[in-house]
Amino acid sequence: MQTPEKKTSRLVTPLLTFLLVVGAAALMHFYDNARVLELSGTHPIVSEGAWGKLFEWNVRIEQPVEYIGFDQTQGGDPLWNFGMLSEPAVRALLQACGCSEPQIGQLLKCRQSSIQNTFVLKPDEETFLSLTQAVRSKLYLELSKNQLNRFQFNPYFIPDDDVNKVLATDHYENKEVVISLLKKLTYERNGYTYFSDPEVVLKHLASPKERLEFLKSMSGVSSVMCRVPISKDSDLDKISNYWSLMTGLKSKDVKPLLEAEKMLPEGGSLSLLYLLPPLAREKLFTTPLPSDGKSSLQPDCHWSALNFFASSPDPRMLDNAFASRFIIDNYYQVAEPTLPGDLVLLLNSENKVVHSSVHLADDIVFTKNGFNYAQPWVLMHEKVMAGYFSALEPVKVVYFRRKTL
């Protein structure tokens, strides 16, 4: 027979648990509201689907200033390296790219002393700025074949053809000049917009601080911040069932928090961060440390995507051959991504994987764009991600699902 004290204890324990959960949700709601205000007061993009609803804000994540300091880019005239081509061959290439005869004549006058027996031009600014976007696109595609042409081989991506989304113009004394120059030097390829001439813009900036801010802006990554809104009419079963499909996340862990948010007078919202597996939750919006010198390998897109579900990362995913075999053995292709954790792969014209990422919801993916330690782990729109990898040739998007799901 239970004593009154034991009965009271059994009643109090669930009540305390309930109050703690509601209290935690209230604090999180307060934080959420503060975070929303930090997003410049902008209204979110709202998407709705099997995941419930998502509030999405497009943001720009800049590299840490410590990493920008390693960039040796200086202001000045660009150098175009044509490799071992002869002057007649360079003339023919310039002509094929659409340069006029006066432009070709002036450019060839700008030939530099032979650099390692290669043909190098240092175009004067007047002729350089006279090139059209179409000419620049064709010429830079040719220059990208030589990796010594650093910014043609790996150009900056301008999302939505909008330099204002890339550049924080309040950092510059002559912001109109910077914007105008940047617009003039962008070019289109494969449906996206790129920029390859930071040296030219840098020499027009007034101070080292402005030059640093410009490099920070250009090296930033277009990302998305996401929240799951919870209101009185939210279908919590639908939401918890969708997100609990990710390994390591159980409905029993998700639903109580969602219920607590729903009990708030005005509802609440939950950062997508809370719904990610441990590795993604730990890495999101961070950058890895530089190599310690013991290994040249850095976490890349394949390591990040294929360790997405892992409780501890498997270092073998740094080996592309092993990663390819892992996909073949553990995934199968699907027509479209409909479950959180589906792989989103970008293929080149030879059907080789050039990038791996993970689908979350809507068109949002978890991605790390490359093995460069200065590249952060972010959330990104799938189309924007494709733009980062379409500078030299168009990419094809394919989707794969884990066999164990």
pLDDT in tens, the chain (405 residues): 444 444 444 444 444 444 444 444 444 444 444 343 344 457 899 999 999 999 999 999 988 777 776 565 666 789 999 999 999 999 999 999 999 999 999 999 999 976 778 999 999 999 999 999 999 999 999 999 999 999 999 999 999 999 988 887 677 888 888 899 999 999 999 999 999 999 999 988 888 888 888 988 898 999 999 999 999 999 999 999 899 887 667 777 788 888 999 999 888 999 999 899 989 999 999 988 776 655 557 889 999 999 998 888 999 999 989 999 999 999 999 999 999 999 999 999 999 999 999 999 999 999 999 777 788 999 999 999 999 999 999 999 999 999 876
pLDDT at position 139: 98
| 284: DSSP letter | B
pLDDT at position 143: 98
pLDDT at position 320: 87
| 118: DSSP letter | B
Token pair belonging to 222: 């277009």
Q: Looking at the domain 285-402, which fold is it?
A: endopeptidase fold (from Nostoc punctiforme) (3.90.1720)
Give the CA dihedral 338, 342, 348, 350, nearest 10 degrees: -100
Give the residue among 126, 110, 143 at the shortest CA–CA distance from 391. 143
pLDDT at position 296: 59
pLDDT at position 310: 87
Dist. CA 130–CA 152, nearest whole Å:
18
pLDDT at position 38: 41
pLDDT at position 68: 73
pLDDT at position 9: 43
DSSP structure string for 26-57 = HHHHHHHHHHHHHTTTPPPEEEEETTEEEEEE
Pairing between β-strand 221-230 and β-strand 377-381 as defined by DSSP bridges: unpaired
Dist. CA 352–CA 1, nearest whole Å:
71
Contact, 340 vs 51, CB < 8 A? Answer: yes
Buried b (16+ CB within 10 A) or exposed e, 168-193: eeebbeeeeebeebbbebbbebeebb
* pTM attached to this predicted model: 0.84
pLDDT at position 51: 94
Q: Where are the domains of the chain?
A: 4-62+222-275, 66-219, 285-402
Dist. CA 359–CA 309, nearest whole Å:
12
Dist. CA 54–CA 255, nearest whole Å:
17
Dist. CA 151–CA 133, nearest whole Å:
16
